[in-house]
Chain A
Amino acid sequence: MRLLEGIRVVEVGGGLPVSYATKMFADFGADVIKVEPPEGDVTRGMAPFIGNEPGPDRSAVYLHTNTNKRSVVLDLAAEADRTRFAALAATADVLVESYAPGTLDSWGLGFDALRGRRPRLVMVSITPFGQNGPYAGYEGSEVVYYGMGGPMLGNGTPDAEPVKLGGYMSLYHLGNSAATAAMGALMVAEQPDGEGVHVDVNGLESQLTNADRRTTFLLNYAYNHVSTDRVSALLSALPNGPYPTADGYVQMVVTMPWVPRMLAAIGDPELNDLFARVAQDPTLLAQPETKEAIDASLYPWLLDRTKQEVMEIAQRHKWPVTALKTPVEVLEDEHFKQRGFFTPVEHPTVGRVVHPGAPFHVAEGWELRTSAPYLGQHTEEVLGELTGDGVAADSLSPAAQQ
């Protein structure tokens, strides 16, 4: 029996965070039903596309975040489909939704209404700013969450604009947090005297509580009334960031305890002397000349070697340095090849698509059993299962009757 087999999750509202939150359940065996509007989930329209051509089943974002799910089309703007949705929600252990606060309530599908039929329902509401407060109802996005909630003002160079992380990191992180919250709430509902739980997960707080160094910076503000920006992030002369090699870059973050390992790996007497002086007077590390002197020793050594060589030499000395690789290079990297991380899945019309692998390993755990569904692929099947639950067989939605 797979890790999460037996759990039914229904998702509605669409978007990347909801899709990723329920993928965490689907890939470990839960029965996840994705409720889509007639025009399809917004992720279906998101680039990049397999084959570089748009199409409702060709978005890599959609294909990645909707594996192992069933797709049901319901138009919640229509009364009849709201009835069907209520019947479907009454079969759910977990409902994950991403509408603006109050939207489901206005349709008679809010937590209290749905709990009337399913007392132990877990409903996870994913929003930009939460269910209440002055910004509740405001719109969010990848860069809005990171800019307001994350440590964005500390990321980038002082003479340029702050810069965000790649792709949709804050949206995935929001989905990841929502999955954890959902699991905790499910374990409340499943107790012998359990009860339904409504969870408020939002983009802003998922960043404030757990993004990069932000939470440490926030507590440091409480302790010291200082904020961190792109200038104060550069206080130390110790190597930090990508450094050039013969064929690309390596990533460094050298902390004081790692300096002896760096010195052993490089074996440069001048560098050794410099750090002997630093040991006597640590304030030297705050001086730009010290950074120049360290870099003057590092650059020739690095530029004589490939990034892979630098990484291997450094790691032999337990000095944390890694080669900076692009996704194309990573696909061919021996480490991930040996681990079998990348996982091809055959899609009936798109063809063979290589997916990223498991976020964690357990016995009878993660598996890509089916690729992401066509729009409404399972409408008839899923609504058919509900006929015993007060939905007449002849009341199937138009999409299902096709």
Chain B
Amino acid sequence: MASLPLTGIRVLDMTVVWSGPTVTMLLSDLGAEVIRIDNPWLFPSSTRGMVARPNQGQMATMGPLGSAYPDGDAGEYPWDRHAMFNWHARGKRLVTLDLRQPSGREVFLRLAGVADVFVENNNVATLGLLGLDWETLHAANPRLILLRMPPAGIGGPYSSYLGFGAHFEAVAGITAVRGYRDSDPSTTTSVFQMDPAAGSTGAFAVMAALRRRQRTGEGELVVLPQVENEMNHIGEMFMDAAANGNENPPLGNRDRNAVQGVYPCRGVDQWLAVTVATYAHWRGLVEAMARPAWALDEKFATAEGRMAAHDEIDAGVSSWTAELEAFEAFHALQARGVPAGPLMNEAAVFYDSHIRARGFFRELDSEHAGRHEYPGHQWSWSGPPMRWEPVHGMGQDNEYVYRELLGMSQEEYDALDAEGHLARGYLKSDGSLL
């Protein structure tokens, strides 16, 4: 029997926000033992919540993620209860360590000695400031693979810049090409797609490096400039810009290669996405609409004709969908082979018959957030079952990692505690929980 591909692989995780954590989630799903390291003296913004312990007033003013705790209650351990963290924390071992102290750095190097992979997506200067540059890590463990995920790469004027995905997408051309047609960017909302894109690529890169290590026996440095990875996702627009000078302004919900739109359906904020890329799609749409007179014009027989009459098609389809439930129109179109989909909010996703039938949501325990249904794995396969294990609390695995894994004596472990490395959460200067 084959086992999960990363069985026996140990990964050190010093990641923030979403991109790095997504990499280590995928590696953990595939069998790796992931050890996440949190510094109890530094609350990382937008990682385990927006602030360490928000009061009710703050929660109400920090957007949809301000109060994303079970039952809107931050609880005693807010950092172990936030949805932005818990969705990717499954199965990871959680330890605390203050890497700014010499003793913390020393312990980290011991961990690096027994690890296969180290993943980090901090500011590009952080590893150097901690005295943990590639040369040091490579000397500590020549088999270690280091994945660094600087948002704009290492080198170049923006490599020290700070920001979320939304910031780097903006400076890299990715924001300018989305939004409403004929509008200025002030109506463009912030999105954060750089992180998931980097998550998939990071896991790919780590596995590729592990495969190569089987042959060479050597670890290596992998650098993933997150925004450059994502720039590939609009690659054709850069090629168009370079070859033709075209600006690629936002198209709203339209598509350069199909008639496409999002059409209002019966109810409040109910919409149906429809794409007509081929003549077969067009015929299916016309049939589903019961052959309205306007749609029988011969000009719609060609792709050029349909694109030229996009506004007219939009008006006709809208008047049809407006009378229908989004799901009703969805099934009517799909029954005739037309790509269509209702825009689903989270409630709709949660109760969707298809998503339920596939067993997508699965229950999971969390030390401090209780038992809930969680969004599932990124794919399914006939291979060994991917890991699905509880969400641990901050510092929950200190004893396992330091005592069992590193074989520290009780005295050493107590010294770590006395030096302020061990905690179950973020600390005030007096050592009590924030």
Contact = CB atoms under 8 A, between A and B. Distances in A.
A and B together in one complex: yes
B185 A242 contact: yes
B326 to A, nearest CB: 10
Given A47-B257, A327-B238, A166 B66 contact: no
B341 A144 contact: yes
A50 B244 contact: yes
A223 B369 contact: yes
B244 A51 contact: yes
Contacts of A1: 215
A370 interface: no
B334 A139 contact: yes
Contact of A330 (B238, B358, B372): B238
A183 B83 contact: no
Contact of A147 (B334, B344, B377): B344
B233 interface: yes
B388 interface: no
A324 B171 contact: yes
Contacts of B187: 156-157, 160
A230 B235 CA distance: 28
Contacts of A180: 26, 200-201, 203-204, 207, 378
Interface residues of B, number: 167
B349 A208 contact: yes
Given A160-B180, A199-B379, A212-B196, A329 B173 contact: yes
Contacts, number: 558
A154 interface: yes
B262 interface: yes
B103 interface: no
B170 A325 contact: yes
A228 B221 contact: no
Given A166-B250, A183-B204, A218 B346 contact: yes
Contacts of B201: 24, 176, 180, 359-360
A130 B355 CA distance: 10
A241 B22 CA distance: 24
Interface string A144-188: 111111011111110011111111110011001111110111111
Contact of A258 (B45, B159, B171): B45
A303 to B, nearest CB: 13
Nearest to A161: B262
Contacts of B14: none
Contacts of A342: 238, 242
B87 A219 contact: yes
A143 B262 contact: yes
B238 A331 contact: yes
Interface residues of A, number: 168
B379 A181 contact: yes
B209 A362 contact: yes
Interface stretch (B55-63, B134-142, B400-408): B55-63
B70 interface: yes
Given A163-B180, A223-B68, A215 B87 contact: yes
A74 B241 CA distance: 34
B342 interface: yes
B212 interface: yes
Interface in A304-359: 311, 315, 318-331, 333-336, 338-339, 341-342, 353-359
Among A156, A178, A181, A285, residue most surrounded by chain B Cβ atoms (within 10 Å): A181
A367 interface: no
A353 B273 contact: no
B200 A285 contact: no
Interface string B179-223: 110001111111111011101111111011111100100001111
Contacts of A282: 55, 57-58, 60-61
Contacts of B157: 334-335, 338
B389 to A, nearest CB: 16
Given A210-B196, A360-B229, A222 B243 contact: no
Nearest to B353: A134
Among A169, A216, A253, A319, residue most surrounded by chain B Cβ atoms (within 10 Å): A216
B55 A154 contact: no
A103 interface: no
A401 interface: no
A24 B200 CA distance: 11
A75 to B, nearest CB: 19
B68 A241 contact: no
Contacts of A354: 238-239, 242-243
Nearest to A148: B341
Among A232, A323, A324, A363, residue most surrounded by chain B Cβ atoms (within 10 Å): A324
Interface stretch (A31-39, A82-90, A189-197, A387-395): A189-197
B223 A361 contact: yes
Interface in B23-61: 26, 30, 45-46, 50-51, 55, 57-58, 60-61
A205 B167 contact: no
Contacts of A144: 273, 275, 339-341
A81 interface: no
Given A163-B180, A200-B380, A360-B224, A251 B239 contact: no
B425 to A, nearest CB: 17
Contacts of A199: 379-383
B69 interface: yes
A68 interface: no
A384 interface: no
A281 interface: yes
A169 B70 contact: no
13 contacts: A50-B244, A130-B380, A141-B273, A147-B342, A160-B187, A177-B378, A185-B381, A241-B189, A253-B167, A321-B163, A342-B242, A356-B239, A361-B223
Given A48-B244, A322-B161, A328-B245, 7 more contacts: A63-B239, A143-B341, A144-B340, A179-B200, A219-B375, A227-B348, A326-B248
State the 3 A-B residue pairs at the shortest beta-carbon distance, nearest first. Answer: A187-B5, A251-B170, A166-B178
